[in-house]
Amino acid sequence: MDHFNYVDGLLHAEDVPLTVIAAQVGTPVYVYSAATLTRHFKLFQQALEWTDHLVCFAVKSNSNLAVLKLLGDLGAGMDIVSAGEYARARAAGVPGERIVFSGVGKTGAEMRMALDGGIRQFNVESEPELELLSQVASSLGVVAPIAVRVNPDVDAKTHEKIATGKAENKFGIPIARARDVYARAAALPGIEVVGIDMHIGSQLTDLEPYRLAYAKMADLTRALRADGHDIRRLDMGGGLGIPYRRDNNAPPLPIEYGQVIREAVGDLGCEIEIEPGRNISGNAGILLSSVIYLKEGEGRDFLILDAAMNDLIRPAMYAAHHDIVPVVEQAPGTPVAPHDVVGPVCETGDTFEKAVDLPRLSAGDLVALRSAGAYGAVMASEYNSRPLVPEVLVRGDHFAVIRARPTLEEMLGRDTIPEWL
């Protein structure tokens, strides 16, 4: 469910017509719904109400400060993977004790930053990282709480570029070596073992891979406790998918996901952490765009938008689908025809969708690319020297620009020509 619906013939974000936002902010522009973000976060809270838990929003999916503050004020923790994301979480008012530091390439400087500013735990992904964290924590005279990320070698049945739990993926420590690594962690100064971390991939639409992975996590918990480790926290990862196609069967609900967790590890008495990103922010956002041209091609028509692959890279990178709909509601029976919906960037890959059935649109007409609130603006670039796409947050009948579109002068001003040129 989201809060983007037609009212009086116009697509609205909550109570705001998208035509109003386009007129005041321009296009392309990301538009987020506060009501949808809130609802989706609360669904995960309800899914885990049977136990002590922390829902940590995956900042990588949408790192805008306003989005992070909204979720943080609701009680969300943050799952971060860089110093920049840590700084964003803190700037949004999230305390360090609600921030989990994941990622395969943490540097010593990032470790120091988190230890100085406060951190809930580090999800350690390798033995060299463990050794470095011990050195950094010891040099500061503090103790770093850790969970070791364990790779369970489970196929998440998702796109190969967002699968993270198979043996060939770069993430985590092989489960066969976990007990040895935990033994080393327990012996190191400046390290406190608090739990286990596991994350098998993104955009999962089947609960069975979770069941397989979490069964292995439960067995490992018992084995590590038998070895003398105080395993009191389980980070189950995230990755639950969303319905990108409205005509498809919906993925499992958060309540069903929570039940899988309960069945697998509910008897262990551990605090549960989860790291949803896409399932909270994905359907809470759209990319609003204007038609530049309708170009009649050889055997196909091209709808050329002012949004491009630099604004939303997912279709080019993953062959991902986003429903594309006119902002002006079409009357029943309106003729449609297949169009290739493309952007103006000089790449054939700058294609959002091929042969999508749309009514005949003209220059200036508005369209919305749905389910664009996750891995949209955060992955945008200035390729072709196109200014970064702005972002807008809607709540009820009002909205605010939460990241402005830079001017060409601001974009050029970030470059420096040395005096000797």
> What residues does each domain of the chain span?
4-31+284-413, 48-276
pLDDT tens per residue across span 65-109: 999 999 999 999 999 999 999 999 999 999 999 999 999 999 999
346 is catalytic: yes
CATH architecture of 48-276: Alpha-Beta Barrel (3.20)
Q: Partners of 341 in the beta sheet?
A: 303, 353
Return binding residues for pyridoxal 5'-phosphate. Answer: 239, 275-278, 375
Identify whether the C-beta of residue 223 lies closer than 8 Å to the C-beta of residue 263.
Answer: no
Orientation angle between helical segments 83-91 and 65-73, nearest 10 degrees: 60
Complete DSSP assignment for 38-80: HHHHHHHHHHTTTS-EEEEEEGGG---HHHHHHHHHTT-EEEE
Stated as kind and residue range, the H or E segment containing 182 is: helix 178-187
Bridge partners for 196 per DSSP: 148, 234
Catalytic entry in 187, 226, 346, 421: 346
Q: How far apart are CA 371 and CA 40, in angstroms?
A: 13
Q: How far apart are CA 168 and CA 151, in angstroms?
A: 10
Q: Among 191, 195, 196, which Cα is nearest to 175's?
A: 196
Known binding residues are: 239, 275-278, 314, 318, 347, 375
Distance of alpha carbon 354 from alpha carbon 361, whole angstroms: 16
Structure tokens at 354: 């091929």
Q: What is the pTM of this model?
A: 0.94
> 293 pairs with which residues across the strands?
304
Instruction: Tell me, yes or no, if the two domains 4-31+284-413 and 48-276 fold the same way.
Output: no
User: From the CB of residue 297, how many other CB atoms can be counted at a distance below 10 Å?
Assistant: 9
The residue type found at 199 is: H
Is residue 171 pLDDT above 80, yes or no? no
Contact predicate 30/390, CB 8 Å: yes
Which residue do the tokens 């196609």 mark? 245
pLDDT value, residue 250: 80
The binding site for substrate comprises 278, 314, 318, 347, 375
Predicted confidence (pLDDT) at residue 383 exceeds the cutoff of 70:
yes
Per the CB < 8 A criterion, the answer to whether 19 and 327 are in contact is yes
- Distances, alpha carbon 337 to alpha carbons 175, 328, 369, in Å: 52, 17, 18
CATH for 4-31+284-413? 2.40.37.10
Task: Place 299 in a pLDDT band, splitting at 50, 70 and 90.
Answer: confident
Q: What is the pLDDT of residues 217-231, one digit of tens each?
A: 999 999 999 999 999
